[in-house]
């Protein structure tokens, strides 16, 4: 089955430290991979996506993600976390040539001051 997985329900990091939120995928063909962020009582905001090309994708708010085909991963990273980055992060992928998204289960990021 085609899907994305987020192995960590929660990630805790201190402000100023680097952060990583993990995502692995299982989709056929060339994957399109997305990261979204959801703040409390808000909709999902697009952060970045991988279509093709450079394996390091830069997105909004200083986030970046690294596509790794051999490990079928698309981890979200930021060099220096902010308290305001605390939110729920979702990895997503459309299967095949469809545009519907399969979402991971979400990872809650807690950044402590």
Cα distances (Å, whole numbers) of residue 112 to 20, 22, 56, 84:
15, 19, 27, 10
- Measured in degrees and rounded to the nearest 5, phi and psi for residue 85 equal -80, -10
Stretch that binds other proteins, among 12-20, 65-73, 79-87, 99-107 (CB under 8 A): 99-107
- The only residue of 42, 58, 69, 112 in contact with other proteins, by rule CB under 8 A: 42
d(CA 106, CA 69): 21
- The only residue of 20, 101, 108, 110 in contact with other proteins, by rule CB under 8 A: 101
Q: In terms of CB distance, is 81 or 87 closer to other proteins?
A: 87
d(CA 78, CA 87): 14
Q: What angle do CA 27, 10, 72 make, to 5 degrees?
A: 20
Residue 34 in contact with other proteins, rule: CB under 8 A = yes
Please state the closest distance from residue 96 (CB atom) to other proteins, in A: 8
Residue 70 in contact with other proteins, rule: CB under 8 A = no
Stretch that binds other proteins, among 11-19, 53-61, 69-77, 101-109 (CB under 8 A): 101-109
CA quadruple 3, 6, 38, 56: dihedral positive or negative? negative
- Residue ranges that bind other proteins, judged by CB under 8 A: 32, 34, 36, 42-46, 49, 51, 90, 94, 96-106
């Amino acid at each position: 089955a085609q899907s994305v997985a987020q192995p960590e329900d929660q990630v805790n990091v201190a402000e100023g430290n680097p952060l990583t939120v993990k995502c692995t995928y299982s989709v056929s063909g060339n994957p399109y991979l997305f990261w979204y962020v959801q703040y409390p009582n808000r909709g999902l905001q697009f952060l970045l996506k991988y279509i093709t090309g450079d394996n390091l994708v830069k997105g909004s708010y200083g986030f970046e993600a690294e596509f790794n085909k051999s490990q079928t991963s698309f981890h979200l990273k930021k060099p220096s976390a902010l308290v305001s980055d605390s939110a729920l992060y979702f990895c997503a992928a459309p299967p095949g040539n469809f545009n519907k998204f399969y979402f991971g289960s979400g990872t809650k990021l807690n950044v402590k001051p």
